[in-house]
Structure 1
Amino acid sequence: MKKLILNDGQKIPIVGFGTYKSTEQEGIESVKSAIAQGYSLIDTAAAYGNEDAVGKGIKASGVSREDVYVTTKLWRESLGYESTKKEFEKSLKRLNLDYIDLYLIHWPANAKNYDNWQQTNADSWRAMEQLQAEGKIKSIGVSNFFQEHLEALFETAQVLPAINQIEFHPGYWQKDLVAYCKKQNIVVESWSPLARGKVFGNGVLEAIAKKHNKSVSQICLRWIIQHDVVIIPKSTSPERMAENIQLFDFELNIAEMEQINKLPEMGFSGELPNIWPDRIKI
């Protein structure tokens, strides 16, 4: 499995397993199955309500702790210095782990929801830096941060975010934000890599898939990793899990990459970090 080197020297697998909506027994079994299929990066979040199931799935897999890369996230209603520390300990306990490989601020505070959103994000980040210094977190990062949120964070941050996990898929890949993150040596990670299913039935993607004798899903995921962006597709189907990780026996050429780059907007969630909890009309 290809890995990307983060700005703190840690390495992250470029393909991981997402667990959004995978709860209780289904969550346990899907994580266990994913690890058996070769996934080593498991992505969860406090807001998913499944950290307990993810932890049990990791334990049931029988693999060594150091062979699993675990990501979880601080929910946007728990921002602030003291709250961040408390919420992290809750996540750690639910996962039943001694440390987290990657801890992210799930959504930034913004001007619509906080009187001083810059300070709120900075306070959360300071707590995360301390938890990292204590060895409880290997890498710290953010999710859904626009450039404005990152620039404000840089004013006080002692540690650069290692990751920015954002919505990234054909039809909505935030090209300018990705370029900015790469310039800052921040690795980008994709959520919703299949555009909430909107990629299926797209003629361009179907033609490229047919040429490579691959599925549309595999074409989309391969396109993302060729942008050097981490992917965390989710599935409870063992067959789909296997398909989603079989991405390294073919390559998209420059023309194909550009075709996908230029696809019109599709599958955008409508969720924007500078206006939550509202969504734009889509």
Structure 2
Amino acid sequence: MPALTDTFTLSNGVRIPRIGFGTWQIPDGPATYDSVRTALDAGYRHIDTARAYGNEESVGRAVRDSGVPREEIFITTKCPAEVKDAAGARHAFERSSALLDLGPVDLYLIHAPWPWTAIGSDHRAGNIEVWKVFEELYDADKTRSIGVSNFVVDDLEDLIAATDVVPHANQIRWFVGHTQPQTTAFCQQHDIRVEGYSPLATGSLIGNSDIAAIAEKYGRTVAQVSIRYLLSRDILPLPKSTTPSRIVENADVDFELSAEDLATLDALDTGHGEGR
């Protein structure tokens, strides 16, 4: 499926597959291992994990066992959101690298601008300290690209003003009805690749009648239209499933939505602002 083999090019020239397989909320062990193997067998070449997910070891084992050459697979992991100091960032990366056991990481992200227990709190100085470690890791070729997650415009501006490397990617919650227009526009103006996690709104879009009406026109599912919408808006989707048939379905998005249908989907945005 071309959607799985096509790539975006990050600002540093690194190519990243246009669809990633997300592993958030998949438990370590057989659930993660089996779903990642299924995704790789289905043709996915971009796997997204995080230290906080607790499943890096199973992701790494699935990749090593898949028979797919390592250089053909793009691996993203993330520094825990609560880590806001240099020593913690170095330790977190070493731990992730050891658990994955896949050599250099392809993309390493700050998981959030604040700890999950204190959403919205000010950690600008800590993010800068962590980012400078990221720049060291990048310069040492321990990661091929570096980025952030859940950052809005103010977070990005503060980070960029105080550091040398502009983030190569920003992974944010992005789906029909929640498109974070200000953050998305800022990233696109600064050549920061926007990745959209929860492209199905953690499943809550599946029963959406407006999307269902569009899906029926194309002989597609609500999930396929929802994922295609991100690609049509130049956003990299990260669908997640543990069901083999849905893992395959979510990547079968080689069709085009009409301008009229894209406008209908755009109009569903609630306008509830930026962020999670």
Q: TM-score, normalised by structure 1?
A: 0.91
The alignment status of 1:107 with 2:93, answered yes or no, reads no
Per-residue CA deviations over 1:230-260 (Å, capped at 9, x if unaligned) read: 1110111111111111111x10011111100
Q: Which residue of 2 aligns with 1:4?
A: 8
Distance 1:188 1:114, change over 3 A: closer
Counterpart of 2:37 (choices 32, 43, 51) is 32
Amino acid at match of 2:49: T
| Separation in structure 1 between the aligned mates of residue 120 and residue 133 of structure 2, nearest angstrom | 18
Matches of residues 169-188 of structure 1 in structure 2 within 5 Å? Answer: 169-188=175-194
Unaligned 5+ segments in structure 1 are 274-282
How many residues are matched?
269
Q: Which residue of 2 aligns with 1:56?
A: 61
8 Å Cα contact 2:172-2:275 kept in structure 1: no
Unaligned 5+ segments in structure 2 are none
Q: Which residue of 1 aligns with 2:258?
A: 253
Q: Secondary structure at the match of 1:42?
A: strand
The alignment status of 1:43 with 2:48, answered yes or no, reads yes
Counterpart of 2:157 (choices 151, 168, 179) is 151
8 Å Cα contact 1:109-1:120 kept in structure 2: no
Amino acid at match of 1:122: I
Q: Secondary structure at the match of 1:190?
A: strand
- Bigger shift: 233-242 or 139-148? 233-242
Q: Which residue of 2 aligns with 1:276?
A: none
Amino acid at match of 1:64: P
Q: CA deviation at 1:82?
A: 1.4
| Separation in structure 1 between the aligned mates of residue 253 and residue 110 of structure 2, nearest angstrom | 29
Q: CA deviation at 1:113?
A: 7.4
Q: CA deviation at 1:116?
A: 6.4
8 Å Cα contact 2:229-2:262 kept in structure 1: yes
Q: Which residue of 2 aligns with 1:97?
A: 102
Per-residue CA deviations over 1:48-86 (Å, capped at 9, x if unaligned) read: 000011011111111111011000001111221111111
The alignment status of 1:77 with 2:82, answered yes or no, reads yes
Q: Secondary structure at the match of 2:58?
A: helix
Q: Secondary structure at the match of 2:250?
A: helix
Counterpart of 1:227 (choices 209, 233, 237) is 233
Q: CA deviation at 1:212?
A: 0.2
8 Å Cα contact 1:224-1:230 kept in structure 2: yes
| Separation in structure 1 between the aligned mates of residue 119 and residue 145 of structure 2, nearest angstrom | 27
Q: Which residue of 2 aligns with 1:200?
A: 206
Q: TM-score, normalised by structure 2?
A: 0.93
Amino acid at match of 1:137: T
Q: CA deviation at 1:97?
A: 1.9
Q: CA deviation at 1:222?
A: 0.3
| Separation in structure 2 between the aligned mates of residue 67 and residue 104 of structure 1, nearest angstrom | 20
| Separation in structure 2 between the aligned mates of residue 261 and residue 241 of structure 1, nearest angstrom | 25
Distance 1:113 1:82, change over 3 A: farther
Query: Share of identical aligned residues, percent?
Result: 38
Amino acid at match of 1:62: G
Distance 1:113 1:182, change over 3 A: closer
Q: CA deviation at 1:265?
A: 3.1
Stretches of 4+ aligned residues off by more than 6 angstroms: 112-116
Q: Secondary structure at the match of 1:104?
A: strand
Q: Which residue of 1 aligns with 2:18?
A: 14
Q: Secondary structure at the match of 1:245?
A: coil
Amino acid at match of 1:160: V
| Separation in structure 2 between the aligned mates of residue 101 and residue 118 of structure 1, nearest angstrom | 25
